[in-house]
Structure 1
Amino acid sequence: MESAYPYLKSLHIIFVVSWFAGLFYLPRLFIYHTEAHTKPEPARGILLAEYRKNEKLLFNAIMVPAMWLTILSASWMLYLIPAWLEQSWMHLKLTFVAGVVAYHFYCRKLIYELRQDHFRHSSFQLRLWNEVATILLFAIVFLVVLKNALDWIYGVVGLLVFALVIMMAVRLVKRRREQKQQKP
């Protein structure tokens, strides 16, 4: 059974990549969907219908199966190596994974809201939301590779700095876009 571990780990990585591809792209669709809401007809109707269709397809056909396959393969690996559950780095990693699952289901909530033309978040807020998956991915990868929860304080501080850099970059891009739009 232990000889299956490298294959299982490879599949797990593939499922994680697939899931995160959706987690990175879906909020971009939310941004475009929100911005399309302000366009004049007939473009608005055409774009909104297309974004609704693409969001639903991405979520149901890619993200949901990838999430469950990620969880299944991870559970199987933990079954093969249960000692990991006694290690503090794994506890912290599973906490971040719970954050990814919560992010996933909040994205589903946003799909339902946008489908009902409820635009609660601005495109700028959605751009910031889009970076949450990146921050979670960084945290999980560093924990898995380093397997050291004792340095989690440095990791959290680094993660916060990284998050601030991303937020500043998003603001800078927004400011530049607005400046370009104001020039004749």
Structure 2
Amino acid sequence: MTYLHFKALHIIFVVSWFAGLFYMPRLLVYHTEAQSKIEAAREVLNEQFIKMEKLLWNAIMVPAMWMTLITGSIMIYITPGWLSQGWMHMKLTFVLGLIVYHFFTRKLILEIQKGHFRFSSIQLRLWNEVATIFLFSIVFLVVLKNSVDWIWGVLGLIAFAVMIMSAVRIVKKIREKKVSE
């Protein structure tokens, strides 16, 4: 296989991993919100959410993460010069952060499945957006490489994060307004 074959596979596995990283926190939001239902509905929903969370984690998220890391490592092996470039150091730092995000999400899954809901649905919605920030950071870094001044990159990332957090708060206010009407 050539470098381009591994690059294509890497992109496919990254997309699969991010699909799981976006969907799992959303499931946790719904699982948390289900706790306000009457007991009979709550029991059925809890059982269904646990089944969905286990399937998503075991069938998509974990295999996609490992295949992303394996294909990425092979690409670095094929092109070792990348390791001397600053953008690659930043990308690998973001990937490490994404792995931490992945496993912290796993911790949340296990807590929620045991009935320990320490975060509200709004906090979980915000948690869901952390993956979006990682995605934007990594993609812009890979595409633009060294053509972006780090200061502007950090400022852009902060501005993007503020926009996401503001959007979540606006949606929360709209939902609260609809409930009160």
Scaled by the length of structure 2, the TM-score of the pair is 0.98
Partner of 2:157: 159
Partner of 1:26: 24
Distance 1:158 1:150 in 2: 11
Ranges in structure 2 where 5+ consecutive residues have no aligned partner? none
Question: SS of 1:148's equivalent?
Answer: helix
Distance 2:155 2:118 in 1: 30
Distance 1:121 1:9 in 2: 37
Distance 2:60 2:18 in 1: 10
Partner of 1:74: 72
Give the conservation status (yes or no) of the 8 Å contact 1:96–1:136.
yes
Shift in Å, 1:151: 1.4
1:18-167 mapped onto 2 (5 Å cutoff): 18-148=16-146, 151-167=149-165
Deviation >3 Å, runs of 4+: none
Shift in Å, 1:149: 7.2
RMSD: 1.0
Partner of 2:178: 180
Distance 1:151 1:101 in 2: 26
Task: Tell me the amino acid that sits aligned with residue 42 of structure 2.
Answer: R
Give the conservation status (yes or no) of the 8 Å contact 1:139–1:159.
yes
Task: Tell me the amino acid that sits aligned with residue 63 of structure 2.
Answer: P
Give the conservation status (yes or no) of the 8 Å contact 1:143–1:149.
no
Task: Tell me the amino acid that sits aligned with residue 175 of structure 1.
Answer: K
Give the conservation status (yes or no) of the 8 Å contact 1:34–1:123.
yes
Task: Tell me the amino acid that sits aligned with residue 115 of structure 2.
Answer: D
Give the conservation status (yes or no) of the 8 Å contact 1:16–1:67.
yes
Distance 1:77 1:112 in 2: 34
Distance 2:138 2:171 in 1: 27
Ranges in structure 1 where 5+ consecutive residues have no aligned partner? none
Task: Tell me the amino acid that sits aligned with residue 100 of structure 1.
Answer: L
Post-superposition Cα deviations, 1:22-68, rounded to whole Å, max 9, x if no partner, equal 00000000000000011112110000111111011101110000000
